[in-house]
Amino acid sequence: MLPELRAAGIYIHQLDELDEGQRRAVGTYFDEQGLPRAHAAGFRPGRPFPHISNLSLNLAVLLRDDTGHRLFARVKVPQTLPRFVRVPAPGDVPGTPDSDREAHFIYIEQLIAAHLDRSSPT
């Protein structure tokens, strides 16, 4: 399906494929849209496992606490955010209109995973 999308001018990128301008744009998007909504719910052995809603998108994360112990956390991707985040075309100049012939996207879960250090644990 990806080749057909590319032929139609729709590109789905991996985060590591983005150029510096695109990375800045998705970082700004995360700050404005994702950070207030994406929170990790951690648990330790002997504690109840965090609830995972049916059909929800979640990230499984291993963390270290202040003492160096590893713990598991679940980050629920907010359903209010789109699954695909539009990014500027490679090399676009900020403030100029996007090309009408191409659309570039990344998955929201890649954006959240890349910015976990900026999220708040709950």
pLDDT at 122 (0 to 100): 46
Q: Structure pTM?
A: 0.75
Could you give the number of structural domains in the chain? Answer: 1
pLDDT in tens, 55-87: 888 888 887 878 888 888 888 888 888 899 999
| Contact assessment for residue 76 and residue 42, using Cβ atoms and an 8 Å cutoff | no
Please state, in angstroms and rounded to a whole number, the distance separating the CA atoms of residues 63 and 82: 26
Question: Domain containing 42: what range?
Answer: 2-121
The CATH number of residue 28's host domain is: 3.30.1840.10
